[in-house]
Amino acid sequence: MSGGTAGSGLAGVTAGKTAISTVGKEGKGLTYRGYAIEMLAERASFEEVAYLLIYGQSPSRAQLTEYREQLRSLRRLPEGLKPVLEALPGNSHPMDVMRTGCSALGCLEPEINRDQQWDIANRLLALFPSLLLYWYQFHHHGIRIETDTEEESLAGHFLNLLHGESPGAIPRRVLDASLILYAEHEFAASTFAARVTTSTLSDFYSAVTAAIGTLRGTLHGGANEAAMALIERFQEPDEAEQGVLAALENKEKIMGFGHRVYKEADPRNAIIKDWCRQLAERAGDSYLFPIAERIEVVMKREKGLFPNLDFYIAPAYRFLGIPVHLYTPLFVCSRVAGWAAHIMEQRADNRLIRPMANYIGPEPRDFVPIEQRG
Ligand SMILES: CC(=O)SCCNC(=O)CCNC(=O)[C@H](O)C(C)(C)COP(=O)(O)OP(=O)(O)OC[C@H]1O[C@@H](n2cnc3c(N)ncnc32)[C@H](O)[C@@H]1OP(=O)(O)O
Ligand SMILES: O=C([O-])CC(=O)C(=O)O
């Protein structure tokens, strides 16, 4: 883009190279390190995918066993973090808790040299569910939980800390699949924020903290909570249809629909929708899933728009008994794997990311000192 102005919001601009994933490339859909998302979501585990993203190759069986063990050993909160989490208000948005918790960890366990980057990535991956649920249980139920469980997977660990018991196979599997779907997405806004921060030679925690703050907004990761808020407004599909038509008439955005890169469909949607349908059947649900499906039909008919990953993940998480304000933090718990891979990739071939702006302000003019102004 030399000379001209990039499209608004950098739409359509290629801003760098990556070997981590492809998004919306013709014939390639969504791949992590060359593997199709459909195969990963069906056949792999989240830990396997995190390893693939962070280390650049699939683990052997022995490596995966060792990696799971390593992550399990990193779940305990540092003592210094507990008072910080306890001091935060109970009515904070949990994304603010994630952002502050990550930043505080950067003070408690700072990155002194680059060789630590793999350890820090794994520590964040292992610790984020503990951090979030320690704060949540302390403020919402008045208890100080132990954050190391015997659960093998992050999904099982999260549900165990949330519900206080080991989850069943289906909830564990669905949450695991959703984490695989959330793990990585090329130069999404939060990842780009992490790369910009990294490009100044800043530390790992600063890059992840910037990414968390960027994910929080409803045009990005915050859309999953906003989608649930929309779906919950309605009691049945006809009401949802009328409500969505009225919102569109008002030029409101329907969260969980559309995408900057995908033009016809988000390949992750079919996978999460299928899991959501299964959970609805298990729960004997007769309204959440039909309402969501009606909204999908209306959005296709009225706007030609399709659901992105954030839409059906919302009712799926509801069926898993996850409070709505923990949806975007769960996105963090997974995406930190992708962010970590991008931070490392940026560091390996770094140049300061610093574009230019087209100036549209006033022409040069004389400055009038304050005492001479009216
Ligand atoms: C995991 C993720 O982060 S996926 C993204 C999650 N975010 C959301 O679901 C938020 C809702 N979706 C959106 O706001 C957008 O589709 C985005 C932000 C994802 C992509 O945005 P952009 O590529 O900038 O598209 P933009 O916002 O310009 O939309 C293009 C047109 O489609 C419309 N449109 C796009 N998405 C929506 C939507 N969800 N609801 C209603 N209209 C929409 C816009 O109003 C605009 O219409 P216009 O040309 O008549 O003004
Ligand atoms: O790629 C994007 O812009 C947003 C997205 O779907 C993701 O981060 O998963």
Across the range 167-187, mean pLDDT stands at 98
Q: Provide the CATH number for the domain around residue 316.
A: 1.10.230.10
Residues 302 and 343 in one domain: no
Residues 341 and 257 in one domain: no
30 belongs to a structural domain? yes
Q: Which of 10, 22, 259 is the pocket-test mutation for ligand 2 (most atoms within 8 Å of CB)? A: 259
pTM, rounded to two decimals: 0.97
Answer yes or no: is the C-beta of 30 below 6 A from any ligand 2 atom. no
Distance CA 306, CA 257 (A): 6
Distance CA 220, CA 218 (A): 5
**Residue nearest atom 3 of ligand 1, based on CA coordinates:** 220
Residues 316 and 338 in one domain: no
Give pLDDT tens digits for 58-114.
Answer: 999 999 999 999 999 999 999 999 999 999 999 999 999 999 999 999 999 999 999
Distance CA 322, CA 320 (A): 6
* DSSP-assigned states of every residue in 95-156: HHHHHHHHHHHHHHS---SGGGHHHHHHHHHHHHHHHHHHHHHHHHH----------SSHHH
ipTM value, please give it: 0.98
Residues 181 and 315 in one domain: no
- With the C-alpha atoms ordered 14, 268, 336, 98, is the resulting torsion angle positive or negative? positive
Asked whether residue 271 carries a pLDDT value surpassing 50, the answer given is yes
Give the per-residue pLDDT at 215.
Answer: 98
Give pLDDT tens digits for 124-166.
Answer: 999 999 999 999 999 999 999 999 999 999 999 999 999 999 9
CB 199 within 8 A of CB 350: yes
**367 backbone dihedrals φ, ψ, rounded to 5°:** -85, 130
172 belongs to a structural domain? yes
Distance CA 117, CA 120 (A): 5
Beta strands in 127-279 (DSSP E): none
Residues 257 and 301 in one domain: yes
**Residue nearest atom 9 of ligand 2, based on CA coordinates:** 185
110 belongs to a structural domain? yes
Q: Point out the catalytic residue in the list 157, 259, 266, 342.
A: 259
CB 98 within 8 A of CB 190: no
Active site residue 157: no
Across the range 25-35, mean pLDDT stands at 88
- Closest listed ligand to the CA of 187: 2
Q: How many CA atoms lie within 13 A of 230 on its CB side?
A: 34
| Cβ burial 212-236 (10 Å sphere, 16+ → b, else e) | bbbbbebebbbbbbbbbebbeebee
Q: Which range marks the domain in which residue 203 is found? A: 21-217+333-348
Report the Cα 213 to chain-centroid distance in Å: 11
Residues 183 and 95 in one domain: yes
Number of domains in the chain: 2
Give the per-residue pLDDT at 6.
Answer: 79
Q: Scanning the structure block, which residue is given the tokens 């998480």?
A: 317
Asked whether residue 1 carries a pLDDT value surpassing 90, the answer given is no
Give pLDDT tens digits for 182-194.
Answer: 999 999 999 999 9
